[in-house]
Amino acid sequence: MSETLGTVLDWVAILCILAGSVLSLVAGIGLVRFPDLLSRMHTAAKPQVLGLLLVLVGIGLRLVPVETNVFNVGTLVLVALFQTVTIPVAGHITARVGYRTGRIDESLMAHDELAERLRTEGDVPGSGMAR
């Protein structure tokens, strides 16, 4: 009974890790395929969140029966928590710097409300609109 359960868990874990890896691969392809910084930020940071979570779930499923001394489920929870909390911060800073230093391809922008606002305000980029 427990052996079949182990096999099932194994398969679920394998599928989770596989799906996570595929999502990370998609992120890599998107990084090469998209032309400008902001679009690349999307693929660099996002499918990876789900990909990483799936890989962690996969590892967790295999770790529950086999307790190692290196890390346990708590460590995985911490990894997931800090990844999800820090990715937006890094993404925001990168996007903001990219925008403020003019590394944005205008031809790819269909609609840009931030630029409109900056123009109407006469705000010099980098003068600290957001504090």
What residues make contact with other proteins under the rule CB under 8 A? 23, 26, 29-30, 33-35, 38-39, 41-43, 45-47, 49-50, 72, 74-75, 77-78, 84-85, 87-88, 91-92, 95-96, 99, 108-115, 117, 120, 129-131
Nearer to other proteins, 11 or 82 (CB): 82
Burial class (CB in 10 A: 0-12, 13-18, 19+), 55: buried
Closer to other proteins at the Cβ: 10 or 36?
36
For other proteins, the closer CB: 7 or 71: 71
Residue 59 Cβ vs other proteins, minimum distance, rounded to whole Å: 15
Gyration radius (Cα) of the chain, Å:
21
- Residue by residue, DSSP assigns 16-53 as HHHHHHHHHHHHHHHHHH--SHHHHHHHHHHHHHHHHH
